[in-house]
Chain A
Amino acid sequence: MHIMEGFLPWQWCLLWYIVSLPVVAYGVVQIKKITDEHPESKPLLAVSGAFVFVLSSLKLPSVTGSCSHPTGTGLGAVLFGPAVASVLGAIVLVFQALLLAHGGLTTLGANIFSMGIVGPLVAWLIYKGVQKAGWSPLIGVFLAASLANLMTYVTTAIQLSLAFPVPSFAVAFNNFMWIFAITQIPLAIAEGLLTVVIFDYIMKLRPDILENLKVIGPKIKEKAQAVV
């Protein structure tokens, strides 16, 4: 999903920066607020960030014959909300832009928008929806993480098609969807499964923190504790 350095006209770079920076700033405020209210959740914040670090460094082969990587932002979004996940995503994207020449400083705003904003927002909405419907949190986490991953890449395809609608937006979108989104489907499933494993493990060990963060209800907490 990384749009390469210099591969967006400057107007688009500017636009995506203008959209993304306020969200990241809001995320920083949210982090302060959540860690003040629930200091016991700090280690989980670190785990969520670390999860993005690990997953976005794993470039996996896909059935289309090209390689791509998971994003790992679904976990942070489910635990702490989309804005906090934006900050985590932004940290990783800066690391990769500066040290790995993956993505870039000019395209950072656009990449934060796809990986740090749309992905986590989708994850969070889906998780909340599943929670409301009363389904198991694990189903929620699976759907949230895998669709966040997929939508991140769909967003990249949309961003590139908007910037390069040659010959038309629809044709360009079709091309970029093939490059990004189709490759991503099996990886999205893999990411969903990995997120379920780590979430379930956290739920077993510290259901109290998840309950304080309103990620799971008290009933599920009791059930999770009974398993340990």
Chain B
Amino acid sequence: MDNKYYILILAVVALIAIIPLAMYSGMGEDEGYFGGADSSAGPVIEETGYQPWFSSIWEPPSGEIESLLFALQAAIGAIIIGYILGYFHGQSSERKKIEKEVKSDLNGSEEN
């Protein structure tokens, strides 16, 4: 795929994330929007009369700390992907350069 298709695909992904924001614009967590699906299962389970028997041994003390840790998680992943794909990219352009030089050398020697 050409690079322009990458941009197109990423734009579609962005759109998928933006559409719900636009659909429920003005709504917030207080109105029951944009909460996590994971935690919305909790009340449904508790309705059956079930009591959780174990709670997390450590919880992020605030939303700030939680977002810090989530950002850290994403950053760890992103830096690894960027480093390795960047390395691959360098390798492949170097390989191309060498191939080109070899080719032009060969052409040159034929002419002589």
| Dominant secondary structure at the B interface | helix
Contacts of B58 in A (CB 8 A): 98-99, 101
In the complex, chain B residues 48-67 whose Cβ is within 8 Å of any chain A Cβ: 48-50, 52-60, 66
In the assembled complex, the CB of A72 is this many whole angstroms from the nearest CB of chain B, namely 8
In the complex, chain B residues 10-52 whose Cβ is within 8 Å of any chain A Cβ: 10, 12-13, 16-17, 19-21, 23-24, 27, 32-42, 44-45, 47-50, 52
Is A193 a contact partner of B12 (Cβ separation < 8 A)?
yes
**Counting CB contacts under 8 A, is B78 at the interface?**
yes
Among A53, A56, A95, A228, the most chain B Cβ lie within 10 Å of the Cβ of: A53
In the assembled complex, the CB of A159 is this many whole angstroms from the nearest CB of chain B, namely 10
Look across to chain B and name the residue whose beta carbon is closest to the beta carbon of A60.
B17
Distance of A106 Cα from B53 Cα, bound (Å):
10
| Contact indicator per residue, chain A 56-93, by CB within 8 Å of chain B (1) or not (0) | 11111111111110000000000000000000000010
Contacts of B35 in A (CB 8 A): 66-67
**Set A3, A10, A95: member contacting B41, Cβ < 8 A:** A3
- How many of chain A's residues touch chain B, expressed as a range? 35 or more
Is A205 a contact partner of B85 (Cβ separation < 8 A)?
yes
Q: What number of residue pairs across chains A and B have CB atoms under 8 A from each other?
A: 188
Contacts of B69 in A (CB 8 A): 99-100
In the assembled complex, the CB of B33 is this many whole angstroms from the nearest CB of chain A, namely 4
| Contact indicator per residue, chain A 3-32, by CB within 8 Å of chain B (1) or not (0) | 111110110000000000000000000000
In the complex, chain A residues 43-60 whose Cβ is within 8 Å of any chain B Cβ: 43-44, 46-47, 49-60
Contacts of B55 in A (CB 8 A): 5-6
Give the number of chain B interface residues (Cβ < 8 Å).
61
Distance of A50 Cα from B81 Cα, bound (Å):
6
**Set B6, B56, B80, B92: member contacting A104, Cβ < 8 A:** B56
Is B45 a contact partner of A53 (Cβ separation < 8 A)?
no
In the complex, chain A residues 162-188 whose Cβ is within 8 Å of any chain B Cβ: 164, 166, 175-176, 179-180, 183-184, 186-187
Is A190 a contact partner of B13 (Cβ separation < 8 A)?
yes
**Set B9, B13, B77: member contacting A50, Cβ < 8 A:** B77
Is A193 a contact partner of B74 (Cβ separation < 8 A)?
no
Given A51-B81, A60-B17, A66 contacting B89 (CB threshold 8 A): no
**Counting CB contacts under 8 A, is A198 at the interface?**
yes
In the assembled complex, the CB of A151 is this many whole angstroms from the nearest CB of chain B, namely 15
Look across to chain B and name the residue whose beta carbon is closest to the beta carbon of A176.
B41
**Counting CB contacts under 8 A, is A121 at the interface?**
no
**Counting CB contacts under 8 A, is B1 at the interface?**
yes
